[in-house]
Chains A and B, each alone.
Chain A
């Protein structure tokens, strides 16, 4: 981007690789809103983007890593969390964010998800949940609501979907929230909160997929998706995550469900080994700048 340009600029632009625009997301898709919210959160918290990394997996949401003008890595399917764990371990001073879809994070990468949460890896994980493998054409995914239609479930799914906040909480995440792409202010606020929170923070963002999921399930266009979120979302902060599962045509419980503290993976290692080894133990050089 040339500095001498006078044209009015979208405030998001300095954070994006504008040479890669236009992006591949469909009109009405919710992923762009997540990108916008993330940029607002970064602007509000005055984050040094040189100390920030974005890691993504495969799928529509996986494209985020390629569009952000920060250190970013587009991993193979399901692997953003272990990649991010390695990155954070080698560079504890960095703020490491994972952006990926539910078909990446809790399906092919599901094992990584629960174990990173269990160890309390110091990662901020944003899962954009659009209820289907959208990039590959709409096969049944791990959060597809019961009875919803997918190309591999032409008469509706019969497998129980994951309730992601419940999964994250039970696995050990220290921060768990869910918003839809209608809740942009709350989403920005949650992102600001987890930016400074040590440990495994999980944010589920319900996002419309008019092209694949909504069309197949007769749920209307992108606007209809947003209207649904507006009318059917219920904010219940602190809700019991056991009760926030999503049903086809049902209410969507949103809010901040969990905000608790426990040692991160590296802190736990330092604590345990300092205790056992005393002065012999050399603590891990964290150099955290929050």
Chain B
């Protein structure tokens, strides 16, 4: 039986990891991820989770420990943020290449400099191409559900790839929300015991991580790309399983009042909730705005996105990171790439919002909607706008 309880999103996420019976947790303290591993270390110390907690000396070591334990066949979890994720960078590429199904939470936070502990998506956008499955969540319930789901998809033998659950630092990680916490039995029904594709085993020796000479490197990379792309099928399938077991529906691309909308806005992560409120307010004024929420970031759900956009004339894209000197908004850049193959595509105005913890208010959303209607009327794409910029 699931219980309804008020809980901080980070603690809820840690509880979910506990329900999944992780074997090894290794992490280094970094704000705002700390509460997850603090709570996990408590669960371990209390004997409520039969796991080993390794408090290492840096995130570079944390991800290395995770690779080692996963290679030995242990269900492995870690969490980090910002500079910590950046410090893991080198090892992040190793995990999917060795098909190690590690699950990691990233409490999204800005990158230095200037030093900033606050929320945006700079950290994860810099790790776009690491080869992990990546999802974004909006609230504590989604954090629980998709953490449990992450172990399922990561360990699915057709996939066997590491998975990141992105959740916004502070504005979600430190929020206390009502959640439905499943019980152990429910989770065990959904999540079978971990049977690794291959493991370091003294009786059946395998060699992991050797040199790939030019003769094999291209093939290795092709297979990796294909595996992640093909993970789409199992992802949708396991979202369906999740719904069957827990009654909550997830899709790679989700929409809100988008069907009859005149203009659309795309968000990722916790801003989606504010966006829905703003959409409702605008609808009350009789203006048809709709929302697209990108849940699955890797593998990128091209078809779902095109279906969601349909033949709408304007699609605003909100970005919470900057691709300096390049396409400005990294998510907008991906969306435009997806649209390039479409026969007809909308105007795509770009909005940079909420950098380094800058609040994104309902009023900001209204100013963005104003821009979208203006773009539709003039039939031209405005320059990318840094929302709320003080000049």
User: Residues of A with Cβ closer than 8 Å to B?
Assistant: 58, 74, 76-78, 107-108, 110, 133, 135-137, 139-140, 142, 151-155, 159
Dominant secondary structure of chain B at its interface with chain A: mixed
Q: Shortest Cβ distance from B368 into chain A, in angstroms?
A: 33
- A154 touching B45 by the CB < 8 A rule? yes
Which residues 68-92 in B have Cβ within 8 Å of A in the complex?
83, 87
- B30 touching A136 by the CB < 8 A rule? yes
Which 10 A-B pairs give the minimum distances between C-beta atoms? A139-B29, A108-B58, A152-B41, A136-B29, A151-B38, A107-B57, A154-B45, A133-B29, A140-B55, A152-B55
Tell me if B224 is interfacial: C-beta within 8 Å of chain A: no
The contact string, 1 if C-beta is below 8 Å from chain A, for chain B 84-112, is 00010000000000000000000000001
- Nearest B residue to A156 via CB reads B45
A58: B residues at CB distance < 8 A: 83, 115
- B29 touching A154 by the CB < 8 A rule? no
**What are 27 A-B contacts with C-beta separation under 8 Å?**
A74-B115, A76-B83, A76-B112, A77-B58, A77-B83, A77-B87, A107-B58, A108-B28, A108-B58, A110-B57, A136-B29, A136-B30, A137-B29, A137-B38, A139-B29, A140-B55, A142-B57, A151-B38, A152-B38, A152-B41, A153-B45, A153-B55, A154-B42, A154-B45, A154-B46, A155-B45, A159-B55
B30: A residues at CB distance < 8 A: 77, 136
Best-surrounded residue of A133, A136, A155 (most CB of chain B within 10 A): A136
Tell me if B333 is interfacial: C-beta within 8 Å of chain A: no
Q: Shortest Cβ distance from B271 into chain A, in angstroms?
A: 25
- Nearest B residue to A155 via CB reads B45
Q: Shortest Cβ distance from B43 into chain A, in angstroms?
A: 10
Q: Compute how far the CA of A46 lies from the CA of B34 in the bound complex, rounded to whole angstroms.
A: 43
Q: Compute how far the CA of A262 lies from the CA of B114 in the bound complex, rounded to whole angstroms.
A: 38
A155: B residues at CB distance < 8 A: 45
Q: Compute how far the CA of A108 lies from the CA of B38 in the bound complex, rounded to whole angstroms.
A: 18
- B53 touching A152 by the CB < 8 A rule? yes
Best-surrounded residue of B38, B55, B112, B115 (most CB of chain A within 10 A): B55
A107: B residues at CB distance < 8 A: 57-58
Given A107-B58, A152-B29, A153-B55, answer yes or no on A139-B112 (Cβ-Cβ < 8 Å): no
B38: A residues at CB distance < 8 A: 137, 139, 151-152
- Nearest A residue to B114 via CB reads A74
Which residues 6-33 in B have Cβ within 8 Å of A in the complex?
28-31
Q: Compute how far the CA of A210 lies from the CA of B204 in the bound complex, rounded to whole angstroms.
A: 53
Q: Compute how far the CA of A22 lies from the CA of B112 in the bound complex, rounded to whole angstroms.
A: 23
B45: A residues at CB distance < 8 A: 153-155
Tell me if B263 is interfacial: C-beta within 8 Å of chain A: no
Tell me if B268 is interfacial: C-beta within 8 Å of chain A: no
Tell me if B37 is interfacial: C-beta within 8 Å of chain A: yes
A139: B residues at CB distance < 8 A: 29, 34, 37-38, 55
Q: Compute how far the CA of A76 lies from the CA of B41 in the bound complex, rounded to whole angstroms.
A: 26
- Nearest A residue to B35 via CB reads A137
- Nearest B residue to A151 via CB reads B38
List 14 extra interface pairs beyond A136-B31, A139-B37, A139-B38, CB under 8 A. A77-B30, A77-B58, A77-B83, A78-B58, A108-B59, A108-B87, A133-B29, A136-B29, A136-B30, A137-B34, A151-B38, A152-B38, A153-B55, A154-B42
- Nearest B residue to A139 via CB reads B29
Q: Shortest Cβ distance from A241 into chain B, in angstroms?
A: 21
- Nearest A residue to B32 via CB reads A136
Best-surrounded residue of A77, A110, A153, A154 (most CB of chain B within 10 A): A77
- A136 touching B57 by the CB < 8 A rule? no
- B29 touching A153 by the CB < 8 A rule? no
Q: Shortest Cβ distance from B174 into chain A, in angstroms?
A: 12
A140: B residues at CB distance < 8 A: 55
Q: Compute how far the CA of A139 lies from the CA of B351 in the bound complex, rounded to whole angstroms.
A: 38
- B57 touching A154 by the CB < 8 A rule? no
Q: Shortest Cβ distance from A142 into chain B, in angstroms?
A: 6
B55: A residues at CB distance < 8 A: 139-140, 152-153, 159
A110: B residues at CB distance < 8 A: 57
A152: B residues at CB distance < 8 A: 29, 37-38, 41, 53, 55
Q: Shortest Cβ distance from A20 into chain B, in angstroms?
A: 14
Q: Which of B41, B59, B83 contacts A151 (CB 8 A)?
A: B41
